[in-house]
Chain A
Amino acid sequence: MSETSALTEAVFYILLSLNQPRHGYGIMQETERMSGGRVHLAAGTLYGALNTLSGKGWIEGASGSADSRQKKYCITPAGQAVLRQELVRLEELVRNGRAVLGTTEDKEGEEK
């Protein structure tokens, strides 16, 4: 996970869902909701990612959650900066994809 390379889908959704403090299960549910049920974060994958992200200082334990069994996490300003940078990258991908393939709506229109 270098600063310039792409974030994984799991990391992107974890950071996004931590805009407000959540515990592990809350992150899973919010990710599922945002992606319309497409992205399921598995417990082991999520746990590993939370540890890595904490180590990088992109997220931190939210105050008032001393009990590690229901530990809540929150995004840090550093994490927000990474997320914004990723958004710029994703917008570039979408822009270029559309420029070549046309928008997804156009494609559906053609098929009708």
Chain B
Amino acid sequence: MSEAGKNRKTVWRVYWLWQYEEEEAWLNRMAAEGWVLEEVHFFRYVFTRCQPGEYTVRLEMMNGSPEKEENQEYIWFVRGTGAEYVGKLKNWIYFRKKTVEGPFELFSDLDSRLTHVERVLWLAATLLLVIAFGTMNMMVQVISLRDGQMDNGNGFLLILYLFMLLWIGRGTWKLWALRKKLKEERSLRE
């Protein structure tokens, strides 16, 4: 293995929209083991060598593209607090900060965590709605065909749609439950 190869590695891994907490936890486990996030791509993470526990990694979903002016301003603001901007993937942005420079969180109260969960939840709910319409449309098509004339392709697509509906439905429900939990907590404390 080349010198560069020893200090850099790529890991393929799938995290869905509603698994961002797991994703962040995994990125921090990697950092604790001496691999810090360097680049983010679809399902592909590039890490470079660091001292074990040298960095804390945080991620957040923006309202719209990170290229938008107000979001760029936010990224500058977070950088101004000592964090490094690692990169973006769609609406998600990734930061890392050296642990010696103090604790690194993006949210320190329930209100801001709730705002963020709701942002992710509405996106998941929109996706769910789109898939639900697609599924209904597919069902109508499959049902309206006479017996024996059913196209295998349509049947397969319908199953695919149903699977996606269940999958995204489960994810949306998970986000909904998290939102509910945070709301309950907020009625007692900040």
Contact = CB atoms under 8 A, between A and B. Distances in A.
A42 B107 contact: yes
A53 interface: no
A21 interface: no
B111 interface: yes
Interface residues of B, number: 22
B108 A69 contact: no
B73 interface: yes
Interface in A64-112: 68-70
Given A44-B78, A47-B74, A69-B76, A10 B109 contact: yes
B112 interface: yes
Interface stretch (B6-14, B30-38, B79-87, B151-159): B79-87
Nearest to A68: B73
B81 A43 contact: yes
A103 to B, nearest CB: 23
A68 B76 contact: yes
Given A8-B190, A24-B80, A69-B76, A44 B107 contact: yes
B118 interface: no
Interface in B89-114: 102-103, 105-109, 111-112
Contact of A40 (B77, B80, B82, B103): B103
Nearest to A7: B190
Interface in A32-70: 40-48, 68-70
B108 A40 contact: yes
A26 B116 CA distance: 24
Contacts of A43: 77-78, 81, 83, 105-106
B60 interface: yes
Given A8-B190, A40-B103, A47 B78 contact: yes
Q: Which 4 A-B pairs have the closest CB atoms?
A: A42-B108, A44-B106, A42-B105, A45-B112
Interface of A: 8-10, 23-25, 28, 40-48, 68-70
Interface of B: 60, 73-74, 76-78, 80-83, 102-103, 105-109, 111-112, 115-116, 190
30 contacts: A10-B108, A10-B109, A10-B190, A23-B80, A24-B77, A24-B80, A24-B81, A25-B81, A40-B103, A40-B105, A40-B108, A42-B105, A42-B106, A43-B77, A43-B78, A43-B106, A44-B60, A44-B106, A44-B107, A45-B106, A45-B107, A45-B112, A46-B108, A47-B74, A47-B77, A48-B112, A48-B115, A68-B76, A69-B76, A69-B80
